Amino acid sequence: MDALTINEAAETTGWSPRMLRYVEQMGLIAARRSPAGYRLYGPEELQRLRTLRELLARFDVGLSEMGFASRLRTDEELRSAVDAWFEAEPKRPDDVTAADWLRFEQEKHQRLLEAALT
């Protein structure tokens, strides 16, 4: 049975148990639970936890920022609102047509992608 309990997981990942719960609360890595409610970390989660640490350190990113990134990819409405805002960069009127067409194409693929993943 290859699943570690929270203290063991903390041991091998470098996070504190407290932080593992926090990471879960941020919606980033939710361990599955034993029948009694104990968190169980499999190899997948352990690896992701280590990778997450590297990522945060390397780019000086915070957990809450990763939490937001997570929101961006689960909340479709938020994502498109944010995308729309950024895409409204100062542009001359003629840029619109081509760019908008491309955007439509991209979003079509996006929808296909999401449909394929459900």
Per CB under 7 A, the list member of 12, 14, 16, 84 interacting with DNA is 16
With contacts defined by CB under 8 A, name the span among 1-9, 15-23, 33-41, 87-95 that binds a copy of itself.
87-95
Stretch 55-84 residues interacting with a copy of itself (CB under 8 A): 55, 58-59, 61, 64-66, 68-70, 72-73, 75, 77-78, 81-82
Instruction: Say if residues 13 and 46 touch (Cβ distance below 8 Å).
Output: yes
Question: Can you tell me the distance from the alpha carbon of 8 to that of 3, in angstroms, rounded to the nearest whole number?
Answer: 9
Q: Is 40 helix (H, G, I), strand (E, B) or coil?
A: strand
Query: Residues, the chain, total?
Result: 118
Stretch 45-74 residues interacting with DNA (CB under 7 A): 62-65
Question: Residues near 82 by Cβ (< 8 Å), separated by ≥ 6?
Answer: 72
Question: Can you tell me the distance from the alpha carbon of 42 to that of 44, in angstroms, rounded to the nearest whole number?
Answer: 5
Residue 35 touches a copy of itself, criterion: CB under 8 A: no
Residue 38 touches DNA, criterion: CB under 7 A: yes
* Interface residue list for DNA (CB under 7 A): 5-8, 16-19, 21-22, 26, 34-39, 62-65
